Amino acid sequence: MDKVIKDPKNEKHAPLIEAAFGKQADLTVVEGNIKKLKEGNVPVKLPAVKGKDVAYTVYDDTKNPMVAQHVEFGEKYHACV
């Protein structure tokens, strides 16, 4: 996705970006999240979260819903490890 975000005007990339992040996505924030994932600095909470599927990312919905806060792993993830 990093390559796609770096060339958002490309006719092949634009539909991928819209499908993944929506029409109104702030690509600066998306790039920041990609950088966090590449550098491995998104905090991970290892204890199982009841009622959740495999894993998901929690975002800060009070300031900017696209800013990743941490990743949580659900009971199904821990059951298959």
Query: In the structure encoding, which two tokens stand for residue 39, read together?
Result: 């550098």
Q: Can you give the pTM of this predicted structure?
A: 0.47
Distance CA 45, CA 31 (A): 23
SS3 10: coil
Q: What is the pLDDT of residue 60?
A: 77
Domain ranges of the chain: 1-41, 42-81
Distance CA 3, CA 49 (A): 33
The beta-strand segments (E) located in the chain are: 44-49, 55-59, 68-74
pLDDT tens digits for range 19-65: 888 888 888 888 887 887 788 777 777 776 676 667 777 777 776 55
Q: What is the pLDDT of residue 57?
A: 77
Query: In the structure encoding, which two tokens stand for residue 12, read together?
Result: 């092949």
